[in-house]
Structure 1
Amino acid sequence: MAMVSVKHWRTGALMTAVLLSGCAGLGTVGGQGSTPEAPAKKVVESKPSAPNDGEASQRYLPQQAYDKQGNKIAYEPSPNPYTGTSEPVPPEAVTRFRKADSLMADEQYREARKAFEAITRDYPDLSGPWVKLGELAEIGERMERAEKSYKKALEVNPENVNAYLALALFQRRSGDFEAARDTYIAALALWKDFPEAHLNLAILFDLYMNQPALAQPHFEAYDFLTSGDNPRVADWLIEIRRRTGIETSFIDNPPPAPKATEEAAAAEPMSAEKGPETTANEEKG
């Protein structure tokens, strides 16, 4: 099957730029309607992870709840901690970030790097610029600097879900699949309803680590959290279920149908035993 992953900086912006408040900084956050991208054809080999490492990620799966009558209860996703802060970003920082981002989009990488570096000096509490510096370092193939920048973003703001995603994608592209797995799980520990973390972790398990049974729950989680808006993911689920043989959902397990009351159950055989003639006699008295 043609697997895909969330887009990264090399092929265009997957994550929609948003203005974030307070120490959350400026940056991007994954959009539920985003279109994944096919990964590189060459897959770097990695040591298989211990089963418990992958199974641990399943503690962060969303679950469909039901009421006593067996009706679905609307799922309320947990809020994104990165956008949940109340402190406003200074307007000047917003303007400068947008300008630096435009320079980067225009491939004026040197000027963009200087602009983002200046923002980090003037606004040390903002983590978003560090994510952008990591992306720029990758463009320049300065991998050590890229990794340090992503980790610096998390140091500045441990709730920057974009930094987790960027770091994990970097680790995956570098062939360190176990580190990428752990970073995705750390992101889900922070925000269990992070759709793109579920999607990318599923792709990592399936395409890169050859563990489809561990991938399936996270494909289901992404499909559930995005209300099935991505038909490609629905196709992947059909395909991966065929391979794993696991048809029972990890997310949605309806309760058994309500059982008939004892009175109704007892009345049914009595009714069945009565024929037309018996009924007619009863009516005549």
Structure 2
Amino acid sequence: MVSVKASRPVAVMMLAMLSGCAGILPVSQPDPEPKTVEREPVQEVAEQSTAPAVEGKYLPQQGYDAQGKKIPYVAAPNPYTQQVTLVPAAAKAAFADARAKRENGDLRMARKGFRAMTKEFPTLSGPWVQLAGLSEQREKPEKAREYYHKALEVNPNNVNAYIEQAMFERRQGEFNNARDAYLAALQVWKDYPEAHLNLAILYDLYMNLPEEAQPHYEAYDFLTGKTDERVANWLIEIRRRTGIETSFIDNPPPVPEVPEVPANTNAAGEAVSADAGSSAPAKSEEQG
């Protein structure tokens, strides 16, 4: 299992799941909890079809100044957490109650609670995401797709919903759909580390497209400050398979060549020593 863990206050997580079209959190709040993904080889490799070329606009790029020194990279902010909204206390309570019922296995009452929320609090996308998950549990994939689409209609910036949708499609074996959902998340937030990581794993282990996976492993490694040793090892391994050693992220400018200083010449065009113009007297042949 690949899990990019980070501690998050319970209150923050509740707001993240409740978020609607106006957003979820004030700017000062931390990002939503990253998602956990599986990185295990599959028995069958999906057909390689319509896989897009690397979308360079989704990849971060290390910049350099005129002297060739690195410019610190500033990641784009998460637009989902940049939005600010006030979630009513009643919505928080209803969401917590429905989620507790789902966790306790009372799927019917959980579904009923989330459905009621979509009517009472129509600007919140979180209940639709929960309904999608419940539909998958009930083995109703088409209904799950409908609810994911509804969640993203309510809040197109809900990057977590794209990740949930992509993981659902991957579990359904719809790898192209999963890819499209990850790319949609990156279109909203190109510096979303976990979207890059999930997409890399999808390309690598499920679609047999290591050349497409490599840039996104590297993007995740870059955006997280090269702190995940496992991903660093995966990058070494995938570079061996692809034979691509050139970075997709960090390409330093070439070191300027120092031009050669041409030798001085005399009036006849003959080369002379560099110290010929010094104040020391010139030597002459000895007279016999």
Q: TM-score, normalized by length of structure 1?
A: 0.79
Tell me, in whole angstroms, the C-alpha distance in 2 between the residues paired with 1:5 and 1:193.
19
What is the CA–CA distance in structure 1 between the aligned matches of 2:254 and 2:119, rounded to whole Å? 59
* Moved >6 Å (runs of 4+): 26-29
Alpha-carbon distance, 1:26 to partner = 6.2
| Deviation string, structure 1 residues 196-244 (Cα, Å, up to 9, x no partner) | 1111111111111111011000000111111122211111000000101
User: Aligned runs of 1:1-285 on 2, under 5 Å?
Assistant: 17=13, 19-20=15-16, 23-24=21-22, 31=33, 36-39=37-40, 42-43=42-43, 45-50=45-50, 53-260=51-258, 266=261
1:38 CA displacement: 3.6
- Using the aligned pairs only, state the percent identity: 52
Kept in 1: contact 2:20–2:155 (CA 8 A)? no
Q: How far 1:113 moved relative to its partner?
A: 2.0
Runs of at least 5 residues in structure 2 that lack an aligned partner in the other structure: 5-11, 265-272, 281-288
Consecutive unaligned residues of structure 1, counting only runs of 5 or more, are: 8-15
Relative to its length, the structure with more helix (as a share) is: 1
Structure 2 CA distance, aligned partners of 1:174 and 1:29?
28
CA distance in 2, matches of 1:134, 1:143: 8
Q: Say if 2:114 and 2:131, in contact at 8 Å, map to a contact too.
A: yes
Q: Which segment drifts farther, 247-256 or 141-150?
A: 141-150
Q: Distance in 2 between matches of 1:85 and 1:108?
A: 33
Residue in 1 that maps onto 2:283: none
Q: Secondary structure at the match of 1:19?
A: helix
- Supply the AA of the counterpart residue of 1:200: N
Q: In the TM superposition, what is the alpha-carbon distance from 1:18 to its structure 2 partner? A: 5.0
RMSD over aligned Cα atoms? 3.4
Relative to 1, partners in 2 of residues 1:147 and 1:137: Cα closer, same or farther, differing over 3 Å?
A: same
Q: Distance in 2 between matches of 1:210 and 1:176?
A: 14
Report the TM-score when normalising by structure 2. Answer: 0.78
Asked which structure has the greater CA Rg, the reply is 2
AA of the residue aligned to 2:235: L
Structure 1 residue 92 displacement after superposition: 2.1
CA displacement 1:130-186 (0-9 Å, x = unmatched): 111111221222222211111111121111111111111111111111121122112
- Tell me the CA shift for residue 45 of structure 1: 4.6
Q: Distance in 1 between matches of 2:32 and 2:49?
A: 27
